[in-house]
Structure 1
Amino acid sequence: MSERITEYTKRYGPDPKTNPQLKVILEHAKKSGMSGTSMENAIKRGQGLSMSGKPLETVLIEGMFEGVSFIVECLSDNKLRTLQDVRLIMRGAGAKQSSTLFQFTRHPFMHLTGPEDATPEAQLASLEDPTLLLPVDRVTLLPGETSTWEVKVEHSDPPLQIVEEMQEALPEGWSVTKTGLKYYPTTFSSMEDDSEAGENYRNLMAKLEENGDVFEIHTNLRWSDYEAPQHELVLSD
């Protein structure tokens, strides 16, 4: 709920009077018991402000762990504090700071939610209608999900324009639930899921995610038992 408040604030502004999407989600949040302070903080985050009202800036920390490359993306009102805290977590887990940004490319992405009462196969079939003219190349079901799909936007069009085109093109029952920018790996590293290194890696990621400044972690890890997505729609080559 908090992510959606932040997202709608980013896209359409912080005033519910002129942002009907934000107004609706705030009403839902209030009914579900979300506190006014939490809603206010989510709106501030969407405006690029911290809870104290200070401007937030993006801080990237690149690292390596057992051959796996990662980027820790943070939003912080105190860059020095964030760098110190994240580096301390990395050192404590045996990870090292290293240049890894060149192993990733940055692209806009969207998450789409399909009808929950439909199977993934049925959802995919509803997108195959050529008259929809979806403005993207590939739609992939997220691992462990049954109705949430990710779209990697390859186009050079402005991200907001792509989102608006997608919202107009989607069939009934579908919606855009999240947008943003993501670092996609150009090469992958493998690790055994049940190995000691795998357990240590998961502990490192968990500790990083506990830090309040960490916004997103991008990694090039593919577990050794990785299987290609079973539900994917390629709209153009």
Structure 2
Amino acid sequence: MAGHSKWANIQHRKNAQDKKRGKIFTKIIREITVAARMGGGDPNDNPRLRLAWDKALAANMPKDNIERAVKRGTGDGQGDNYEEIRYEGYGPNGVAIMVDCMTDNKNRTVSEVRYTFNRNGGNLGADGSVAYLFDRKGVLTYGPDNDDEDVLAPALDAGAEDLVEYEDGSFDVLTAPDDYTQVKAAVEAAGFAPDAADVTMRPATTVELQGEDAQNCLKLLDALEDLDDVQNVYSNVELDAETLADAPA
């Protein structure tokens, strides 16, 4: 992975999400509710709920909202029953894209996802068409102003797998999904809170785009993320910092 614009990619994504806070809240609440329904309402015993809870706190969601979503999931079972579906496809220039959805109407969702791909220069693929290009990993991201050697020691002691450095000075600490929570807690306890952290689908290789190609890909990714039934969008695109600076957040 070239990764010269890693930090610019992270910052652009964060700024874009901040502008969609209402929609982000709705998606996190849905994830909390489903996680609590499937694994119980105690985040200490339910890793999926722990992750969703932490995302809610990172997004500055009021605690009352979080607790109501948990109660909805562990309550009498009333309300929408969401089905989890993953769609795979390609964006401009062969960029690999995976789209995770929660839906109460599969026909509506697949229609919206397919239309969004087609309208923005991509195409929906078959199951398994791009999934092999991604690995599920815990990823703790640090900006260029952090010292990787300081972070590495407590991370490794807590079970981290690797540290990946990028040309812009930022770096990622990688963990197995099951070790993510303990590694994150360990580095935070040591005074090295990450600038961004998640359990995500990390691409093994990336496709670098610039200029109009990059803008077209961003347009597709943003349109997919804007769909109500979409929870997460993963891609293997790597965008240069100059393009991101000119892109609308």
Greater helix share, structure number: 2
Alignment partners' CA distance in 1, 2:172 and 2:68:
27
For 2:146, which of 116, 120, 137 is the aligned residue?
Answer: 120
User: 1:65 Cα deviation (Å)?
Assistant: 2.0
Determine the structure 2 residue equivalent to 1:88: 115
Contact 2:96 2:235 in 1 (8 A): yes
Alignment partners' CA distance in 2, 1:185 and 1:213:
23
Superposition CA RMSD, Å: 4.9
User: 1:103 Cα deviation (Å)?
Assistant: 4.7
Contact 1:190 1:222 in 2 (8 A): yes
Determine the structure 1 residue equivalent to 2:204: 186
Normalised TM-score (structure 2): 0.58
For 1:215, which of 231, 236, 240 is the aligned residue?
Answer: 231
Determine the structure 1 residue equivalent to 2:219: 203
Determine the structure 1 residue equivalent to 2:99: 72
Alignment partners' CA distance in 2, 1:109 and 1:53:
29
User: 1:201 Cα deviation (Å)?
Assistant: 1.6
Q: Does 1:167 align with 2:185?
A: yes
Alignment partners' CA distance in 1, 2:93 and 2:66:
39
Determine the structure 2 residue equivalent to 1:135: 159
**Larger RCO: 1 or 2 (CA < 8 Å, sep 6+):** 2
For 1:107, which of 136, 151, 175 is the aligned residue?
Answer: 136
Q: What is the CA deviation profile of residues 121-170 of structure 1, one whole-angstrom value per residue up to 9, with x for unaligned ones?
A: 2xx33224489624123235799998xx64333x5xxx335533663576
Determine the structure 2 residue equivalent to 1:43: 70
User: 1:120 Cα deviation (Å)?
Assistant: 0.9
Distance of aligned partners of 1:40 and 1:132 in 2 relative to their CA distance in 1, 3 Å threshold: closer
Q: What is the CA deviation profile of residues 86-123 of structure 1, one whole-angstrom value per residue up to 9, with x for unaligned ones?
A: 11111111211235325513223143679xxx9412xx
**Counterpart amino acid of residue 222 in structure 1:** E
Contact 1:68 1:220 in 2 (8 A): yes
Normalised TM-score (structure 1): 0.60
Greater strand share, structure number: 1
User: 1:84 Cα deviation (Å)?
Assistant: 0.6
**Counterpart amino acid of residue 236 in structure 2:** N
Alignment partners' CA distance in 2, 1:175 and 1:62:
34
- Runs of at least 5 residues in structure 1 that lack an aligned partner in the other structure: 227-237
Identify which range, 136-145 or 50-59, moves more after superposition.
136-145
User: 1:222 Cα deviation (Å)?
Assistant: 2.2
Q: Once the two structures are aligned, what percentage of the paired residues are identical?
A: 18
Q: What SS does the aligned partner of 2:91 have? A: strand
Which structure: larger Rg? 1
Alignment partners' CA distance in 2, 1:45 and 1:200:
39
- Runs of at least 5 residues in structure 2 that lack an aligned partner in the other structure: 1-23, 243-249
Q: What is the CA deviation profile of residues 180-208 of structure 1, one whole-angstrom value per residue up to 9, with x for unaligned ones?
A: 341x333332322x22x222222111111
Q: What SS does the aligned partner of 2:41 have? A: coil
User: 1:210 Cα deviation (Å)?
Assistant: 0.8
Alignment partners' CA distance in 1, 2:86 and 2:140:
24
Distance of aligned partners of 1:75 and 1:221 in 2 relative to their CA distance in 1, 3 Å threshold: same
Distance of aligned partners of 1:33 and 1:143 in 2 relative to their CA distance in 1, 3 Å threshold: farther
User: 1:71 Cα deviation (Å)?
Assistant: 1.5
